[in-house]
Amino acid sequence: MRPDDVADAPLDDLLAAAAAIRDTTTGRRITYSPKVFIPLTMLCRDPCGYCTFAQPPARLDAPYLTPEQVLRITADGAAAGCHEALFTLGERPEDRYPVARDWLAAHGHASTVDYLAAMCDLVITETGLLPHANAGALLPDELHRLREVSASQGMMLESLDPDLACHRGSPDKTPERRLATLEAAGELAIPFTTGVLVGIGQDRADVVASLRAIAAAHARHGHVQEVIVQNFLPKAGTAMHAARPCPPEEYLWAIAAARVLLPASVHVQAPPNLSDDFAVLLAAGIDDWGGVSPVTPDHVNPERPWPALERLREVTEGAGFELAPRLTVYPEYAAAPDRWLADRLRFPVLDRSDAESLGRDHRWSPGDDVTPPPLLAGSPATTAAAATASPVGGAVREVLDGVLAGEEVGIPEIVTLFGARGREVAAVAELADTLRREAVGDTVTFVANRNINYTNVCTFKCRFCAFSKGPLSLNLRGKPYLLTLEDIAARVAEAWELGATEVCLQGGIHPDFDGDYYIDVTRAVKEAAPGIHVHGFTALEVTEGAKRLGEPLADYLRRLMDAGLRTLPGTAAEILDDEIRAVLCSDKVDTEEWLDAHRTAHAVGLRSNITIMFGSIEQPVHWARHIVRTRDLQKETGGFTEFVPLPFVHMAAPIYLQRKARRGPTFREALLMHAVARIAYRGAVDNIQTSWVKMGVEGSRQALRAGANDVGGTLMDENISRAAGAAHGQGMTEAEFQALVAPLGRTLAQRTTLYGRVPAPA
């Protein structure tokens, strides 16, 4: 539809055009911002004719909320899972009311904006909630001041009609002041929310002109993250109490006009609490419901409570969409912090982000002892047909249908699956579960093994690694150590006695090691327990070992094999994408070297596994590249035995402590890693392992319903994840694995490293 036709287009045509733009841009995903609403002051110098928010001093207990009140509201919000602290307030009350001036002076603040900045700072410091400052028409220096302490800001443009009766006597509502604020926000690179208030006396031409002015400002600066289209409703006690409410058709027209006239990159929001039937708003092209609070009322429209989150989800899903929480700053801006966020805000935003820069949807982090959310309701599907019965539509459904038709997923399809939300997650998991059953049946396997981390001294500086110590460091996390060959042999003998079939050898790259060290370790292990399977030495260790001896890698790997080595762990893969490795582990083997080490290992007769350490700084596209690169190698060599997702444990990781990484994947992301891998590796890698150390027992149980078939090792003692802060124990017994698997109605079996069965003791 041509922009010039918007004003007179038949409503159905306009709605269809708007919905089509939304569907192409944001698909089936509708976002909302879980927030608390903080009415910092309800005093205002403007007397807008529709407003019940602004009150005279006599009606208020105090001119401003105190810091204690602000903190109480935000603490409640933080506990309820909110991300946003929305500060809404009247405009420059100190210019009208002496009581406001006196209060500010008594509390050491020069202006309302000054106090607002102090409260934003307090909220970030004390609660981590992300302030969104909604302080009206501001001067550039005021916007700049607030940019330092808020993740985003907002001001409704409302209308460009200078003669509206409702704005008479309101100096902050002149079009010039509103447009100047919008422009200055762009010049200052502030992620900005603006919007139009429809039905306050303007005509369609004014709505179109307002939307075009917003689009023009966005074209200059790229800063308009969303446009709110709000409908006027008359309120008792206001000058407009008897005015006609914005007619529903006119409201739908305005929303659709916004979607058609604004660039597709600008999100369009309509509040769900201002329409009796808010489902219809979805048909007009919105992709966001705005802020919804589980703990505070809408102080601007107190007579219209926000719908409960469950109701919002029900309506959204009823219309064929999926709901996703976002931050106050939209993903496009959160993902480019150098341009859009002040230094002070970068980590608070990152810390609340998931891999798509949307809001984390639960408190769970890998390795902690928080119970993960139940993402898979009901019983598992038992047939492919049942897996297709879910009501999920859109791009995720298309990819799943392709898989059911036998297609192999590529990078774009894998990224689409990682974007699954709500019911889509269960649909992806169901299909993965079906593919798991077809590939390996219903048995859940484990291996009896012991990890031996022979040294924590390492010359490498991987920024996620909480395990390694510099050779001379004696820091709070413990002393550097190096086990002797006798220590290693004793631990192996003990593990063999306890029934272990595998020993897993990994450690730091000690400056004194040459390649012969690893051969000596392997020999010591085999001498201590000739029957034990030696699973050891990452691509980094063998590449370094060969390099330090000046020996071709293939020859070196053959010598390790002769000494008794049988499989290599895939660790050191982290994310097989050099863009990410440059940040996480710049001095380590690069992607090609990792792949080459495994290719060479497979060529000489060793087997290995694929791991992925995910959830620190990378995005789903990097996961997809990792999966496709390893799948390609598997097609070439067939040497991989399994895929092991290792969610990033953030608690003690240096890169997190330096405030440069997220707090691991969300549980949704961790679950999807198992499910998407099962789908993507179909026919290539049959075994998907879940790490109980990182996923926890309940998390592993859900992963077993989402494509995983293996629970990994008993470990006996596990040092690396605990060094990073993981709360789960040091070992699992067979009985504990039985308890993990029993509620799933599946059987547990002990396996060898190569997925043969270990006969039960006679």
Binding residues for ligand SF4 (CB under 6 A): 458, 460, 462, 465, 467-468, 508-509, 540, 585, 588
Nearer to ligand SF4, 584 or 748 (CB): 584
Structural contact between residues 356 and 333, judged by C-beta atoms closer than 8 angstroms: no
List the structure tokens of 329. 């700053």
CB 639 within 8 A of CB 608: yes
129 vs 597, beta carbon nearer ligand SF4: 597
| Closest to ligand SF4 by CB, 468 or 750 | 468
| Nearer to ligand SF4 among residue 169 and residue 511 (C-beta) | 511
Cβ-proximal residues to 620 (8 Å cutoff; 6+ apart), any chain: 355, 356, 414, 415, 418, 419
Q: Using the minimum distance from each CB to ligand SF4, give the nearer residue, 537 or 623.
A: 537
d(CA 239, CA 499): 82
Q: How far apart are CB 367 and ligand SF4 at their closest, in Å?
A: 16
Q: Spell out the residues 6+ positions from residue 461 whose beta carbon is closer than 8 angstroms to its own.
A: 585, 586, 587
Instruction: In angstroms, give the least distance from the CB of 504 to ligand SF4.
Output: 14
The pair of three-digit structure tokens given for residue 295, joined into one six-digit string: 């703990």
In the complex with ligand SF4, the residue whose CB is nearer, 224 or 540, is 540
CB of 660 to ligand SF4, least distance (A): 16
Work out how close the CB of 215 gets to ligand SF4 at its nearest, in angstroms, rounded to a whole number: 48
Which tokens is 687 given? 């075994």
Structure tokens at 245: 């409410």
210: DSSP letter: H
Nearby residues of 99 by Cβ (< 8 Å), 6 or more positions away: 43, 57, 63
CB 47 within 8 A of CB 53: no
Whole-angstrom distance between the N-terminal and C-terminal Cα of the chain?
A: 76
Q: Are 316 and 305 in contact (CB under 8 A)?
A: no
Nearer to ligand SF4 by Cβ, of 92 and 469: the residue is: 469
- The string over 359-390, giving b where at least 16 C-beta atoms fall within 10 Å of a residue's C-beta and e elsewhere, is bbbbebbbbbeeebbebbeeebbeeeeebbeb
Q: What's the rounded Cα separation, in Å, for the pair 699 and 676?
A: 16
Query: Least CB distance from residue 468 to ligand SF4, whole Å?
Result: 4
> Residue 495 Cβ, how far from ligand SF4 at the closest point, in Å?
22
Closest separation in Å from C-beta 412 to ligand SF4: 31
Task: Measure the CA angle with vertex 436, ends 430 and 441; round to 5°.
Answer: 125
Report the alpha-carbon angle 313-314-318, nearest 5: 115
Q: How far is the CB of 735 from ligand SF4 (least distance, A)?
A: 32
Residue pair 247/212 in contact by the 8 Å Cβ criterion: no
Q: Which is closer to ligand SF4, CB of 465 or CB of 606?
A: 465
Residue 18 to residue 21: CA distance in whole angstroms = 5
Q: In the bound complex, what is the minimum distance in angstroms from residue 572's beta carbon to ligand SF4?
A: 7
To ligand SF4, the closest distance from the beta carbon of 663 in angstroms equals: 19
Separation CA 542–CA 498 (nearest Å): 29
At closest approach, how far in Å is the CB of 590 from ligand SF4?
13
Minimum CB distance to ligand SF4, residue 627 (Å): 21
DSSP character for 199? T
How far apart are CB 655 and ligand SF4 at their closest, in Å?
11
The least distance separating ligand SF4 from the CB of residue 565, rounded to whole angstroms, comes to 18
**Alpha-carbon 279 to chain mean position:** 27
Nearer Cβ to ligand SF4 (280/483): 483
Alpha-carbon span 709 to 157, nearest angstrom? 55
> For residue 141, what are the contacts with CB-CB under 8 A and spacing of at least 6?
none
Task: Select 466 or 706, whichever has its Cβ closest to ligand SF4.
Answer: 466
- What secondary structure does DSSP assign to 257-279, as a single string? HHHHHS-TTSEEE--GGG-SSTT
Cβ distance to ligand SF4 smaller for residue 460 or 481: 460
Identity of the residue, 147 or 581, whose beta carbon is nearer to ligand SF4 in the bound complex: 581
Please identify, using beta-carbon distances, which residue of 425 and 617 lies nearer to ligand SF4.
617
Task: State the residue for tokens 């329409």.
Answer: 275
Task: Tell the residue number behind the tokens 């200055």, with chain if given.
Answer: 184
Asked if residue 545 lies in contact with residue 517, where contact means CB atoms within 8 angstroms, the answer is yes
| CA R_g for the chain | 29
Q: Between 588 and 694, whose beta carbon lies closer to ligand SF4?
A: 588
> Distances from the Cα of 129 to the Cαs of 194, 329, 527, 546, 633, in angstroms?
21, 12, 57, 50, 44
Helix axis angle for 667-680 and 411-418, nearest 10°, is 150
In the complex, minimum distance from the CB of residue 727 to ligand SF4, in angstroms, rounded to a whole number: 20
Retrieve residue 576's tokens. 């097989």
Give 373 or 470: the residue with its C-beta nearer to ligand SF4. 470
Residue 720 beta carbon to ligand SF4: minimum distance, rounded to whole angstroms: 8
C-alpha distance from residue 709 to each of 340, 492, 560, 714 (Å): 43, 27, 30, 15
How would DSSP label each residue in 521-544?
A: HHHHHHHH-TTSEEEE--HHHHHH
For residue 588, the minimal CB distance to ligand SF4 (Å) is 6
Compute CA distances 210 → 49, 162, 182, 202, whole Å.
20, 12, 12, 11
Shortest reach from residue 692's CB to ligand SF4, in Å = 21
Q: Which is nearer to ligand SF4, 460 or 755 (CB)?
A: 460
Nearer to ligand SF4, 588 or 650 (CB): 588
CB-wise, 588 or 678, nearer to ligand SF4?
588
